[in-house]
Amino acid sequence: MNQDTVLLYSLYLGLNLFNTFIVSHKALNKYIVPFKHTLKGELNAFLGNLFTLNLFGFIILFFVNNLYWYSIALVILSGTLNLLLFALNIFNLYFGNAFTRDSIDIFKNPVNGISKGLSKEIFNELFGYYRIILFIPSIILILFISFIGQSNLNQVVIPINDLWIFITIFVSLFIIFLAWINYEKMYLKDLTIKAVKSTYGIQNFGVYPFYLTILFKFTSIPELLVKSKKNNFTELSKEYILYNKNALRYTNFINNKEYGNDLVYSKMPKSIRIDSSLFNADKSLNGIFAGKNLVLVQMESMSRFLLDIPALKNEFPFIRVLLEESVDFTEFYSSVGLGVSSDAEITTLTGLYPTGYNSLYWSNFNYFEKRYKIKMDLATLPKHFNNHGYNTKAIHGDYKRFYNREFAYPDIMGFQKFFGLEDFPDKKASKRDGIIEMFSYEYSCDKHHITPWISDYQLADKVRNEINTFNKPTFLFPITMMPHTPFEFYPKKDKAYIEEYDLKELTKKYLRFSDYYDEVIKRFFIDENDNLMIDSNTVYLFYGDHGCGIKNGDISKLFQRKLSLIEERKILQQLVCFLYVPGSKEIIKNGTIIKEGLVKGKQNLVRGHMDIYRSLIELFGLITNKDAYFGVHLLSNEPTFVLDNKLQDVIMDQSMFSMRNRKIKFPKYNVIDDKIFENIKKFKILNDILIEENGVQKELDSTCQ
């Protein structure tokens, strides 16, 4: 071969191979959470990437053998690959995992409002975080063409015949196939959870072959495992019974102690106090809220660290008063996957984890016929409340089609009514700042808050009005919309003290929302005229949906101490959650009039979204016909774990570890029990079967009673 041809092809292979190292290693891509790197996995990925690039290069030779046009083709190919890797990096930034074919559903959501500011963040990634290096292969190949010159390259014909091209393509395909088989065998011995397959794949099979093969519907290890477990109903039933906590007696696999589904006062943490007026003679907590209204508020991106960092110690005056009259769940953590906000509500309303790699609300939905091909038959909180004569209503400030809620809420969750953006007329809607629709609603006496969504103040007003609309009890499920990444539309910009911290602009924008959080939550209880509007026949439970997505080391600066990466991840998954049960007595605290709470204190044990489902069933005395649930009671002293369904991090009391790499843990001296690890893995696989395979949950419930 001509020397220029060899140099061109070497540059194409070498530079694009180095790019795979950039995106799959933590040292060069801070957003990836990798598995443990092994020599076998690295070699397998190297061969997979090398021969996939070789496959592409020789396929082009079938059509082009002039060196100039071959150079142009390799530039176009490299540019495409570079762009795809950059897009993968951005996806990893916002969703915590590598992209898969199932991830496409997430892009069906309207982007009004969310898109504002994203272009700036992407630009910052390109240059501020030096992701421009991903485009070096195509840049250098362009320089190669410029240096050699078009006229010189045009004179060179690449001397290779079709037989050798065919042999090279065949050999490349064969080695890619062997690498795929080897990768599947490694995967079978490792985590076998489908949510991590994309990250595991790009690391141990190779970025290029992984995305080449997912274009085709190969049956993979996770699908085979699910199929095997589903077909082996006896084994599935045993695991279902083992993890089911809707039983008079069951054994917790973390501490091997016995618990039950009828929590009594003596089995609660001493730090939580309940007014005697709520108890019956045996002091059981089951049914103590029966017949009361429930307002279950999901708060957008409300991280716990906001209440704990020195920078905001003087913020949240109302929330801090409210927490003194509530049960404050100080160790509450997110369990969301790719569906983020919708995943939080799915776990809260069904008691099941999301898969982590797709959105339940979009799965099996025919986008053109506007209906579900298979209607998911899941047990849910709205259905349980419906069976007890409640009005069940969901309220959200975005379009009804966002996360397909207009169909998912009635068809999957069972809500009787759903109020979306379309149900909040706003005559001040207009074109502004490039956003098609902007809505305004007062948030203080003389100002307006301009947003592309219904204002959360308006949402809070709607909740208060709905409580008194009907004579029978009501379950309301409002979801706040702000602050939403990339944290635009904040109403105030005058927090000058934030500038004292050396923070990224995205972090500063998030912190500026502190007073907004406080005023919005206050609005659920006190109207715009400062009238106390707390209903003593209503139970209020507020919880955060997911973290704020800050991943740039700013958490260490905010806590003013050096934190390890795993400790930062733990803090970023920690959310605000509190239960407020107002009585009739009015009290004054720090100049704020509020009704005294009947249940208050601190719960310092780990809790998550799954535990809300179980707790509300028991506290409201809902008859579930022995439908299984898997969370622990929010108010008990029972230990549990919370699984982050994007990264597969496990958080337990006083400890945290990564299921991707068990050497990554906090604190460092923590010892991970093999039995606990295996139980969590088995439960996750069982959970995915229950939430994805329609009818399995119902069949198991009827079989295992």
Q: Let me know: does 336 contact 352? Beta carbons within 8 Å.
A: no
Q: Which helix (H) or strand (E) is 600 found in, with range?
A: strand 599-603
**Residue 559, SS3?**
helix
CATH of the domain spanning 237-703: 3.40.720.10
pLDDT at 222: 56
Q: Work out the average pLDDT over 686-702.
A: 85
Using a pLDDT cut of 90, give the percent of the chain over it: 57
**Residue 691, SS3?**
helix
Q: Where are the domains of the chain?
A: 3-217, 237-703
DSSP string, 363-391: TTEETTTTEESS------HHHHHHHTT-E
Confidence check: pLDDT of 180 > 50: yes
pLDDT at 374: 81
CA dihedral 164, 167, 168, 169 (to 10 degrees): 120
Phi, psi of 672 (to 5 degrees): -90, 115
- Beta-ladder partners of 400: none
pLDDT at 668: 87
C-alpha separations of 636 from 151, 208, 599, 601 in Å? 79, 49, 13, 13
**Is the C-alpha dihedral spanning 561, 563, 567, 572 positive or negative?**
positive
Q: Which helix (H) or strand (E) is 507 found in, with range?
A: helix 505-511
pLDDT digits (tens, 9 = 90+) for 574-602: 999 999 999 999 999 989 999 999 999 99
pLDDT at 433: 45
Confidence check: pLDDT of 218 > 60: no
Q: How far apart, in whole angstroms, are the C-alpha atoms of residue 430 and residue 442?
A: 16
Kindly provide the b/e burial profile for residues 591-616, where b requires at least 16 CB atoms within 10 angstroms of the residue's own CB: ebebbbbbbbbbbebbbbbbbbbbbb
pLDDT at 500: 75
Give the residue, 440 or 84, on which the prediction is more confident. Answer: 84
Tell me: cis bond preceding 667? Omega within 30 of 0 counts. yes
What is the residue type of 471?
A: N
Q: Work out the average pLDDT over 21-44.
A: 90
Give the residue, 33 or 288, on which the prediction is more confident. Answer: 288
47: its two tokens: 């061969």
Lowest mean pLDDT among 49-58, 265-274, 304-313, 466-475: 466-475
Cβ contacts of residue 436 below 8 Å, gap of 6+? 112, 452
Q: Work out the average pLDDT over 436-459.
A: 72
Using a pLDDT cut of 70, give the percent of the chain over it: 92
Q: Work out the average pLDDT over 450-475.
A: 87
Q: Work out the average pLDDT over 62-72.
A: 89
What is the residue type of 196?
A: V
What is the residue type of 87?
A: A
Confidence check: pLDDT of 287 > 50: yes
Neighbours of 169 (CB within 10 A): 19
Q: How far apart, in whole angstroms, are the C-alpha atoms of residue 15 and residue 511?
A: 40
Confidence check: pLDDT of 284 > 80: yes
Name which of 85, 702, 114, 102 is nearest 402 in CA terms. Answer: 114
Phi, psi of 43 (to 5 degrees): -65, -40
Confidence check: pLDDT of 437 > 70: no
Q: Let me know: does 352 contact 346? Beta carbons within 8 Å.
A: yes
Q: Work out the average pLDDT over 413-422.
A: 95
Q: How far apart, in whole angstroms, are the C-alpha atoms of residue 53 and residue 74?
A: 10
C-alpha separations of 272 from 266, 343, 499, 634 in Å? 11, 29, 39, 11
Q: How far apart, in whole angstroms, are the C-alpha atoms of residue 460 and residue 480?
A: 9
Q: How far apart, in whole angstroms, are the C-alpha atoms of residue 64 and residue 289?
A: 75
pLDDT at 445: 55
